[in-house]
């Protein structure tokens, strides 16, 4: 499973759970003229949205044993400190990722 496929799986599942969510691409991109454009905040989660009850959620998607780097940990900590619900989803290796996502949307802290 590619990273894009994993993100799409998370988005589909969040949609089934009646969340409003979108992919957040972060990094350096080039516009049509070749000019560099920085997008997003370094470390922010791949998917962000809102639960049906109005809680902010963020899901960092990892594949093939990927780990959070320092900017991602810092962003997670700031997001959670402000009351956001956060988890790392591993659709390609964790058979329980959907159950964890349901728990997250329900307002539980998911490790």
User: In the chain, where are the structural domains located?
Assistant: 3-105
Q: Is 80 exceeded by the pLDDT of residue 111?
A: no
* pTM tops 0.85, yes or no: yes
Neighbour order of strands in the sheet with 85-89: 20-23, 47-50, 56-61, 85-89
CATH 3.40.1350.10 holds for 3-105 = yes
Q: pLDDT-based confidence at 110, cuts 50/70/90?
A: confident
The overall average pLDDT reported for the chain is 94
Angle at alpha carbon of residue 25, lines to 65 and 56, rounded to 5°: 85
């Amino acid at each position: 499973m590619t990273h894009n496929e994993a993100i799409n799986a998370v988005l589909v599942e969040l949609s089934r759970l009646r969340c409003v969510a979108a992919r957040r691409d972060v990094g350096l991109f080039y516009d049509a003229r070749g000019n560099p454009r920085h997008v997003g905040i370094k470390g922010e989660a791949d998917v962000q949205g809102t639960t049906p009850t109005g809680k902010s959620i963020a899901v960092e998607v990892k594949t093939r044993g990927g780990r959070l780097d320092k900017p991602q940990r810092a962003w997670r900590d700031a997001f959670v400190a402000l009351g956001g619900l956060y988890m790392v989803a591993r659709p390609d290796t964790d058979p329980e990722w959907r159950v964890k996502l349901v728990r997250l949307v329900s307002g539980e802290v998911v490790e």
